[in-house]
Amino acid sequence: MKNVAVIGAGITGITLANLLQKKVNLTVFEKSRGVGGRMATRRAEPYQFNHGAQYFKIENKEFKNFLQPLIQNKIIKHLEANHIDILNKEVIKRTKTYNKIYYTPVSKMNSVVKYLINNNFFIKLLCKIDKTIKENDKWFIIDSDNASYGPYDWLFITIPPNQALEILYNNFKFLDIIKKIKMRSCYSLMLGFDKIKEFDFDTALFLDEDVQWLSIRKKIIENKKIL
């Protein structure tokens, strides 16, 4: 069996691991203490925030088939939201999003990634890969504590391109292509309130402000209203 390493336990890395698991010996390396990557959920008691991806589209049959178990097991559901567009501080459009192609998690966004994990592959958490080496057609990877792993027949790097550049060896032949990929930065502000007035919308798109997207999430947990 081939020895395979996957760097990154976001949706890409875990999907890949899921697809390859029965055909190879596989280890996933993840720098954080949990899986999910940008399909992120953060707890700050008593609040819980999905502060990365909020919803996603299922636009083809293959993707829908892949996610069918998550729909059946109520990990994801159709997105149902009252949405507003705001321009010049005025609401210019109201829509109700209830569209069969939009899905959102029932609770935590990272539960989507967690659901795809099973016992056939090992995930090494809190392990930041700092360096990759290729020798005699085999890959070795080095973490931030200088521990070395390998040899691997295949290495999959599923981290954002600018971070991949930091760990790829100097003469990797696709460096120039990766360097051309530009990512824009994005910040999420998470606010939790004990009391807040009722809003008549769930999501808002600001067409002319630095804050572009606002999502209000209400949940009753042990008689507390979580927003």
Ligand X SMILES: Cc1cc2nc3c(=O)[nH]c(=O)nc-3n(C[C@H](O)[C@H](O)[C@H](O)COP(=O)(O)OP(=O)(O)OC[C@H]3O[C@@H](n4cnc5c(N)ncnc54)[C@H](O)[C@@H]3O)c2cc1C
How far is residue 215 CA from its own chain's centroid? Answer: 17
E runs forming strands in the chain:
2-7, 24-29, 42-44, 47-49, 56-57, 76-87, 90-105, 122-124, 129-135, 138-143, 148-152, 154-157, 203-206, 213-215, 219-221, 224-226
Task: Check binding of 8 to ligand X (CB under 6 A).
Answer: yes
What residues numbered 117-136 form the site for ligand X, per CB under 6 A? 128-129
Which region, judged by CB under 6 A, interacts with ligand X, from 27-35, 59-67, 85-93, 198-206? 27-35
Task: Check binding of 9 to ligand X (CB under 6 A).
Answer: yes
Question: Looking at the DSSP assignment, which residues form a beta bridge with residue 133?
Answer: 140
- Assigned token pair, 184: 């824009």
CA 25/CA 45 separation, integer angstroms: 38
What residues numbered 133-192 form the site for ligand X, per CB under 6 A? 158-160, 163, 167, 186, 188
With respect to ligand X, which residue has the nearer C-beta, 160 or 192?
Answer: 160
Task: Check binding of 54 to ligand X (CB under 6 A).
Answer: yes
Overall size of the chain counted in residues: 227
- Assigned token pair, 111: 């539960």
Q: Count residues near ligand X (CB under 6 A).
A: 28
Among 12, 18, 41, 203, binds ligand X (CB under 6 A): 12
Least Å from the CB of residue 143 to ligand X: 8
Among 6, 7, 58, 84, binds ligand X (CB under 6 A): 7
- Residue ranges binding ligand X (CB under 6 A): 7-13, 29-32, 37-39, 52-56, 128-129, 158-160, 163, 167, 186, 188
